[in-house]
Amino acid sequence: MNTTTTHTPAAATSADARAKPVWSAQRIAGLVATLVVLYAAVPLALGQNLYLMSLAVASLTIAGIALAWALLGNLGGMVSFGHSAFFGVGSYISALLTLKAGWPVFPAMLAGGVGASVASLAMAPALRLKGPYFALAILAYAQIFRIVATEWSGLTGGASGLSSIPALPKLLGVDFGSKSGGYVVILTLVLAFALLYAKLRGSNVGLALRAMHESEDATRVVGVNSVILKLAMLMLSALMTGLVGAFNAHYINFLEPDYAFNASWAVVPIIAAICGGYRTILGPLVGAVSVYLIDQLVLKSLLPTGHQIVLGMLLVAMIIVSPAGLTALRFKRTGRGVHAAG
């Protein structure tokens, strides 16, 4: 006698509920405690020490770019050496809108991010390249943007740059132009990036991107346009980096092409993402804070002119010891998977 198992809608709903991760009370409490520490304890503890607070802001600035780079590499499957282009474009657009058009700072920052995303469309022809060829092509685009910013002196100020860029405003009694206020702004941006990254990775788009990594030809056969997906990831990564660049322009109140498009805005976040573990969401954040603070507080005092060489050596050592980054070392000790961090 054959038996047929039927699945009722209620049973299907129950199965779907079990398939979704459930946030336990302990996990929610841990998240709330982390947010309290980040938004309250850190400013209270470091707010009077302008040097340490500036280091915290700078490390989070690197973290934002590192997260954008990791998103492009992990989801988009593309390695970029040209994120300084997006950083510089976002910086200049936001600065010019506030200086010459009288825009409020926060809308100008958003426009800077959107402008960087639109500027990434110029790199669309490079999407058909793979591996080191794509990375070098994006690096070339970054140099082109730097030259344009230098030569278009009537708009950008040329090599002399832009000064007296409006600072972050004071809203609801909070002075975002202060060190502590700037910290809150960049922290919020970085956490928003991490949330967006997590949502995207768990979506159908994230599934399509992972399938594209396995076999780009196979995804084309089933109707997935890999070029469009890659372009979308490039534009999103550019948007994130442009927002960070726009923030930085209003935080330091000065810009010039060699600074805004400096290769360090691409190289240091790459080192941070790889050292932390770019295949997780937490990795680039941990890597950025660790790498930047070690560089500034330890290496720079020991080797004022050659400290970044040591960073390169640390990167090589990390790749040898733990190719998956610092987060992998932690979760190996606890017996959890590497991707648990993300």
Nearest residue to 213 (alpha-carbon basis) of 118, 53, 320, 72: 72
Is 285 contained in some domain?
no
Is 284 contained in some domain?
no
Which amino acid is it at 54? Answer: S
- Domain range for residue 125? 49-262
Residue-level pLDDT at 222: 63
Residue-level pLDDT at 332: 54
Is 14 contained in some domain?
no
Give the model confidence (pLDDT) of 290-336 as tens digits. Answer: 888 888 888 887 877 777 787 778 778 877 777 767 766 655 555 55
**Cβ-based burial of 205 (10 A; exposed 0-12, middle 13-18, buried ≥19):** middle
Pick the more confident residue, 205 or 3. 205
Kindly state the tokens that stand for 23.
Answer: 């946030």
Pick the more confident residue, 154 or 12. 154
Give the model confidence (pLDDT) of 242-301 as tens digits. Answer: 999 999 999 999 999 999 999 989 988 998 898 888 888 898 999 899 888 888 888 887
Is 280 contained in some domain?
no
Is 315 contained in some domain?
no
Residue-level pLDDT at 301: 79
pTM for the full model?
Answer: 0.86
Pick the more confident residue, 52 or 221. 52
Query: For the residues 2-24, what does the mean pLDDT come to?
Result: 49
Helix %, strand %, coil % for the chain, to 5?
75, 0, 20
Would you put residue 175 in left (φ > 0), alpha (ψ -120 to 50) or beta?
A: beta
Is 248 contained in some domain?
yes
Q: How confident is the model at residue 145 (pLDDT cuts 50, 70, 90)?
A: very high
Is 43 contained in some domain?
no
Residue-level pLDDT at 19: 46
Number of H helices, E strands in the chain: 18, 4
Is 117 contained in some domain?
yes
| Number of structural domains the chain divides into | 1
